[in-house]
Structure 1
Amino acid sequence: MKSILMVGQSNMAGRGFLTAVPPIVNENLSMFRNGRWQLMAEPVNFDREVAGVGPAPAFAQAWSQAHPHEQLGLIPCAEGGSAIAEWGPDGPLLRHAIQEAQFAQETSDIIAILWHQGENDSHDHLYRTYPQQLTATLTHLRTALKLPHVPIILGELPDFLGQQGFGLSAVEAPQINAAIHQVAAALPQAYVATATGLTSNPDGIHLDAPSQRRFGYRYYQAFQTQADVTVPAAQEATQVAQLTQSTPTPAERQYLASKRFAQGQGTFADFIAAYQAAQEDPA
């Protein structure tokens, strides 16, 4: 089984509204919770009650479509509102991520690290020390996991920051993006995914759900090509839409029936009928 590690702050954890995009349900995708692999369900990175759609499920679905007979797991370790200083080698956030990743390594091979962070450092000239801090964090992460060559994909900060809402104070996002590119260029097998054209929730700081799907696809493109993704793909909208257009398998239909019932949608008889229909009719 392959896996990917998710680290950073809230736009990696995800704050996209869950009802704004079709769900991604794939029996070949899992998430690491309570020391075991469970069927992936959003929100994957439940750091807050307001957790929602993040970039990793779209990355995972794109990977799965390219590797239809393999399993991929997501290891969620992002923490909303965290600054780069809190991700230092001796800090609790990085120590926790390393422990989770090492636990997951007992049953999986980590093939990528997805990083998105910087909104909390986009003010008061914090960008001046950001490259050194980010380099130390990512280098320590690779060393601790004994993965010196694992690809690291770093997402840019979106260009709507510094304009409104909670994002109003993030006026130095361009400088943080420059630092992110600097670090990626200096580290081996580190690549940047552009945030060009992505849009926000009404709060002005968090990527909305459709943008998170696009962002996750860009992360996957950077991983797949082992190169920076500096502009959106020409057919990005079509390719992202295809991530949720597959016909559900019987196991996926059973999961969806269970989820609807657990959320109070329909009676127990409705659930049993849908569950049995999924078993009897694979189409």
Structure 2
Amino acid sequence: MKSVLLIGQSNMAGRGFLQDVPMIYNENIKMLRNGRWQMMAEPVHVDRHIAGVGPATSFAQAWTEDHPGESIGLIPCAEGGSSIDEWAVDSVLTRHAVSEATFAMETSEIVGILWHQGESDSHGARYQAYEEKLISLFNHLRKELNAPDIPIMIGELGHYLGEDGFGKNAVEYKQINQILFNVAHAENNVYFVTAKGFTANPDGIHTDAVSQRKFGLRYYEAFSKQMHVLDVLDMEHEWIDKEAKRELTKNERIFVQSKKFALGQMSFEEFSIRVSHINESE
């Protein structure tokens, strides 16, 4: 199985509202929980009780479309509100990410790293030391994972920052974005992913769910083609519509019913009847 390490702050962990997009269910997408690979369900991250839609799910869904019958695992290690200093090579977050990735490597091959962070460093001239710290982190991860050529995809900060809500304080996001762009173009196997055209939740700092779906597709475009993604993808809108109509497999349909039963949305009798119908339809 292939796997991908997810690191950064809240827009990698995901804060898109779960009700704003159709959920993605795919038995070939796994997530690492308590040392085990479980079938993916959103939210993938649990760094906060308000975690929601992030970019990793549509990234993984696009990956499975190109690799039918194969599985991909998501290793969630992003932490909301974290600064670049909290991703220093000896920090708790970095040590945790290395530990989780190392554990995942026992049963999978890590083929990429998805990074999105910088909102917390978009004020107070923190950008002046950002580039050196980011490169140091990337070099450290590659060394610790014994993966010197592993591709790293870095997402641009939302262009909506600096205007409203909690995002109003991120007045230096353009400087951070320029650094992300420069690092991606200077370092080997590091690819820049644009946030062009994205919109935010009402809080002004978190990328909304629809934009996160598009972000994941752009991350995958960068990963699969090993290139920078500098503009909107032509297929973004139609992809979201197409995925909403995707016919679920038997296991996926049972998973959905199990989730509804566990959340108290149906009785055990109703759950049993629905699962029986699913089994009989196969």
Scaled by the length of structure 1, the TM-score of the pair is 0.98
SS at match of 1:185: helix
Post-superposition offset of 1:140:
0.4
Post-superposition offset of 1:245:
2.6
Match of 2:85 in 1: 85
Please tell me whether residue 261 in structure 1 is matched to residue 261 in structure 2.
Answer: yes
Match of 1:203 in 2: 203
Show the 5 A alignment for 1:29-178. 29-178=29-178
Match of 2:233 in 1: 233
Rounded to whole Å, the distance in 2 between the matches of 1:82 and 1:257 is: 36
Paired residues of 1:62 and 1:243 also in contact (CA < 8 A): no
Rounded to whole Å, the distance in 2 between the matches of 1:236 and 1:86 is: 33
Unpaired segments ≥5 residues, structure 1? none
Unpaired segments ≥5 residues, structure 2? none
Post-superposition offset of 1:266:
1.7
Post-superposition offset of 1:62:
0.4
Paired residues of 1:217 and 1:240 also in contact (CA < 8 A): no
1:237-266 superposed Cα distances (whole Å, 9 cap, x missing partner): 112332333211010010011011111112
Paired residues of 1:200 and 1:207 also in contact (CA < 8 A): yes
Post-superposition offset of 1:158:
0.4
State which drifts further: 153-162 or 226-235: 226-235
Paired residues of 1:142 and 1:150 also in contact (CA < 8 A): yes
Show the 5 A alignment for 1:263-282. 263-282=263-282
Rounded to whole Å, the distance in 2 between the matches of 1:88 and 1:29 is: 30
Task: State the AA in 1 paired with 2:127.
Answer: Y
Rounded to whole Å, the distance in 1 between the matches of 2:137 and 2:88 is: 6
Match of 1:181 in 2: 181
Task: State the AA in 2 paired with 1:279.
Answer: N
1:62-103 superposed Cα distances (whole Å, 9 cap, x missing partner): 001111110000000000000001101011100000000000
Post-superposition offset of 1:280:
1.6
What is the identity percentage for the equivalent residue pairs of Structure 1 and Structure 2? 53
Rounded to whole Å, the distance in 2 between the matches of 1:145 and 1:241 is: 37
Paired residues of 1:8 and 1:78 also in contact (CA < 8 A): yes
Rounded to whole Å, the distance in 2 between the matches of 1:185 and 1:140 is: 19
Task: State the AA in 2 paired with 1:54.
Answer: G
> How many residues end up aligned between the 2 structures?
282
Scaled by the length of structure 2, the TM-score of the pair is 0.98
1:176-216 superposed Cα distances (whole Å, 9 cap, x missing partner): 00000111112111101100010000000001111110111
Rounded to whole Å, the distance in 2 between the matches of 1:246 and 1:20 is: 17
Rounded to whole Å, the distance in 1 between the matches of 2:234 and 2:18 is: 26
SS at match of 1:73: strand
Rounded to whole Å, the distance in 1 between the matches of 2:124 and 2:178 is: 16
Post-superposition offset of 1:235:
2.6
Rounded to whole Å, the distance in 2 between the matches of 1:252 and 1:240 is: 18
Rounded to whole Å, the distance in 2 between the matches of 1:14 and 1:244 is: 19
Rounded to whole Å, the distance in 2 between the matches of 1:45 and 1:192 is: 23
Post-superposition offset of 1:120:
0.2
Cα RMSD for the two superposed structures: 0.8
Rounded to whole Å, the distance in 1 between the matches of 2:225 and 2:241 is: 21
